[in-house]
């Protein structure tokens, strides 16, 4: 009972507080998963070095087989942690979705009929379905893409700095550019999303009006006029939906391309490190690990940029 009194449905933090147990499991499994991701670049580097040593005659295939088995075992452990994380993230999102919609439906039931008719049935349906789903999706993305991706980004960055801090800083100079571009594109994306929701509400209202008053419109000869109005609402909905989807799907590849511009420096200066004329002394394993780690970092970074 005490928990119910402290719960405030108008505060997002209250929903996080109520779902503390799924979030605890998400945190533990997320730490294991994201820290375990650092093993993949290291194993890729060791496998590349082992293959070069086998070709040079200094290693045997048995050593390669041991590395492969260890890689498989670590990958299974990491994927098991990922399964637990994703399962409880979905449970966390579903619980919040159910709770939010229950509160919203209860408020709608308590409102007067005049207030409901004034706001419009289509707008209310949009709020009850689309708005809650969008809010829950944002909370889910915050939990996954910011929390555990932040842990992975920090781990990748530390790994790059350990191998060669000068080259790491040079390669990571382009990563903040994607964040700046994402922040600048936030307003057009939000305008497109708002227009899409407004068109969806108008279409819902038109659909309900057509279904409810179809016989009346047919009797008074207004069916063709209402059909034209409905087609206009449908056409506007289709245009805004396409525009919104374009904004949502076209920008992430741009963020990824901006972040990966640092790969050119890694290929150039990393090759010098392997030859012994660069800032650090590398072998094939170090070069492969550094390049793989940087690639995984920029992919994660481009996903985080979408949240801006």
Q: Tokens for 73?
A: 């075992």
Task: Say if CB 34 and CB 152 are below 8 A apart.
Answer: yes
pLDDT digit string, tens, across residues 176-205: 777 777 777 778 877 888 888 888 888 888
pTM to 2 decimal places: 0.67
Distances (CA, A) of 225 to 13, 28, 70, 236, 242: 48, 60, 70, 17, 26
215-224 burial, b for 16+ CB within 10 Å, e for fewer?
Answer: eebeeeeebe
Report the Cα–Cα distance between both ends of the chain, in Å, rounded: 38
| Burial of residue 260 (number of CB atoms within 10 Å: 0-12, 13-18, 19+) | buried
CA dist 284 and 289 (Å) reads: 8
CATH H superfamily, domain 2-305: ABC transporter type 1, transmembrane domain (1.20.1560.10)
Q: Any residues with CB less than 8 A from the CB of 194 and at least 6 apart, and which? A: none
Ordered by start, the domain boundaries in the chain are 2-305
E strand or H helix at 279: none
pLDDT digit string, tens, across residues 54-77: 888 888 888 889 999 999 999 999
Query: Three-state SS for 246?
Result: helix
C-alpha 37: how far from chain center: 17
Task: Say if CB 8 and CB 85 are below 8 A apart.
Answer: no
Q: What is the pLDDT of residue 83?
A: 93
276: left (phi over 0), alpha (psi -120 to 50) or beta: left
Does the pLDDT at position 282 exceed 70? yes
Q: Tokens for 278?
A: 């660069």
Distances (CA, A) of 179 to 111, 173, 250, 259: 43, 12, 15, 9
C-beta neighbour count of 264 within 10 angstroms = 11
Q: Tokens for 59?
A: 């290693």
Percentage of residues in the chain having pLDDT higher than 70: 90
pLDDT digit string, tens, across residues 85-125: 999 999 998 998 888 888 877 777 777 777 666 666 556 66
pLDDT digit string, tens, across residues 208-250: 888 888 788 788 788 788 888 888 888 888 888 888 888 877 7
The DSSP code for 282 is -
């Amino acid at each position: 009972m005490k928990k119910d009194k402290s719960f405030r449905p108008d505060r997002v933090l209250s929903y996080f507080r109520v779902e503390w147990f799924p979030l605890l499991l998400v945190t533990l499994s997320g730490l294991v998963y994201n820290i375990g991701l650092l093993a993949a670049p290291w194993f890729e580097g060791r496998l590349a070095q082992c293959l070069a040593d086998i070709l040079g005659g200094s290693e045997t295939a048995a050593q390669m087989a041991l590395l492969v088995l260890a890689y498989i075992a670590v990958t299974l452990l990491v994927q098991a942690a990922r399964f637990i994380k994703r399962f409880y993230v979905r449970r966390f999102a579903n619980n919040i979705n159910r709770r939010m919609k229950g509160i919203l439906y209860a408020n709608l039931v308590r409102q007067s009929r005049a207030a409901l008719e004034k706001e419009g049935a289509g707008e209310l349906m949009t709020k009850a379905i689309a708005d809650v789903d969008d809010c829950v999706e944002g909370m889910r993305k915050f939990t996954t893409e910011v929390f555990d991706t932040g842990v992975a980004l920090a781990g990748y960055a530390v790994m790059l700095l350990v191998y060669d801090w000068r080259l790491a800083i040079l390669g990571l100079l382009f990563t903040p550019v994607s964040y700046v571009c994402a922040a600048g594109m936030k307003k057009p994306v939000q305008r497109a999303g708002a227009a899409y929701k407004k068109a969806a509400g108008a279409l819902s209202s038109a659909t309900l009006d057509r279904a409810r008053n179809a016989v009346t419109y047919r009797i008074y000869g207004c069916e063709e006029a209402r059909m034209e109005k409905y087609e206009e609402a449908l056409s506007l909905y289709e245009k805004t939906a396409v525009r919104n989807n374009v904004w949502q799907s076209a920008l992430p590849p741009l963020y990824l391309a901006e972040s990966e511009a640092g790969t050119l420096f890694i290929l150039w200066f990393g090759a010098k490190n392997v030859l012994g004329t660069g800032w650090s002394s590398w072998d094939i394993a170090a070069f492969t690990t550094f390049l793989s780690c940087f690639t995984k970092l920029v992919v994660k970074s481009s996903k985080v940029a979408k949240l801006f």
